[in-house]
Structure 1
Amino acid sequence: MQKPFFIVLLIAILGALAIYLLAPELNGAIAFFTGVIITSVVYSISSKSSSMTSDSEKPYTGPTMTLYVGNLPYRVHEGEVKALFGEYGPVNSVRLVRDRKTGRRKGFGFIEMSEAGAKKAMNKLNEFDFQERTLKVREAKSQDSDKADSSD
C-alpha cells in the first residue's frame, strides 16, 4: 500500500521540477504543489480504471452452469473461446481438452459461466459458425450422473 505513495511522491517531485524548469518565474513551492495536484488527479484516474478492469476479472459468484462445446477448431485458444462466450455473460473458466499423448487439442471443451449467460449462449451459439467450424453447445453432464447411469 505504501509503494503507490512513493510513486506518487516521486512523480510529484519530477512534475514540480518540470514545471519549475518550464516556468522559472514560479515559486518552487507553487511548482511543487501544482505537480502534486496534477499527479494526484492522474493517479486517481488511473487507479479507477485499473480497479474497473480488475472487477471484470473476478470470478462470477452467482449460479453457474457448465457448457460442453464440441466441434471447436483445433487451433483455437482459451482466450478466443472466453471472448466468444463472454458476449453472453460472465465466464469463470474455459477448459479445452487435449490429448494426453500428443498434447494436441481434441476439438471440444467446457465453459463455466453464469447460468443466465449459459442459457443465452446455448441458444445463440449452438450451430454457430466459428472459425469455419459449426459449434455444438450443450449443457455438460456431470460426471456423477454418468457414474450413476452406468451402475444401473
Structure 2
Amino acid sequence: MKIFVASLPFEIDDSELKGFFEPFGEVSSAKVIVDKATGRSRGFGFVDMPDEGMAKAAIAQLDGADVDGRTIVVKESEKQ
C-alpha cells in the first residue's frame, strides 16, 4: 500500500521517514520529495508497505502525530 505523508519537517530524509513506519511492519520504500532546483525537501513524501493491515495500522497511529513540532498528515495515497 502506498502511503502519503505531508507536513514533514524540512530536515527529514528518506531513512528517517522509513524509520517512522518500520515499527508497524516491513517498509519496501520511503521517499521524501525534493525540489529539483534547490534540492530542498518539499515537506511531503511517500511510503510503500507491502502488508495492507500493517499499513493501515501505521496510518491510524501516525496521522496527527507530532514530528519535531509539526503535526504530520498520514493517509492512503490516492490512486493515479
Measured against the shorter chain, the TM-score band is: over 0.9
- Count the aligned residue pairs: 79
Does 1:116 find its partner at 2:53? yes
User: Runs of at least 4 residues of structure 1 off by over 4 A?
Assistant: none
2:27/2:48 contact within 8 Å kept: yes
**Could you state the TM-score of these two structures normalised by the residue count of structure 2?**
0.93
Give 1 or 2: higher helix fraction: 1
| Greater relative CO (CA pairs within 8 A, separation 6+) | 2
| Identity value in percent | 38
Which one of 25, 45, 69 corresponds to residue 89 of structure 1? 25
For structure 2, list consecutive stretches of 5 or more residues without a partner in the other structure.
Answer: none
Instruction: Output one character per residue of 1:24-52: Cα deviation in whole Å (capped at 9) or x when no partner.
Output: xxxxxxxxxxxxxxxxxxxxxxxxxxxxx
Q: What root-mean-square deviation, in Å, do the aligned CA atoms of Structure 1 and Structure 2 show?
A: 0.8
1:67/1:139 contact within 8 Å kept: yes
How do 1:9-48 residues align onto structure 2 when only pairs under 5 Å count? Answer: none
Letter in 2 for 1:70: A
Give 1 or 2: higher strand fraction: 2
For structure 1, list consecutive stretches of 5 or more residues without a partner in the other structure.
Answer: 1-64, 144-152
> Could you tell me how far apart the structure 1 residues matched to 2:13 and 2:21 are?
13
Instruction: Output one character per residue of 1:32-74: Cα deviation in whole Å (capped at 9) or x when no partner.
Output: xxxxxxxxxxxxxxxxxxxxxxxxxxxxxxxxx0000000010
Which of the pair has more CA radius of gyration? 1
> Could you tell me how far apart the structure 2 residues matched to 1:66 and 1:131 are?
23
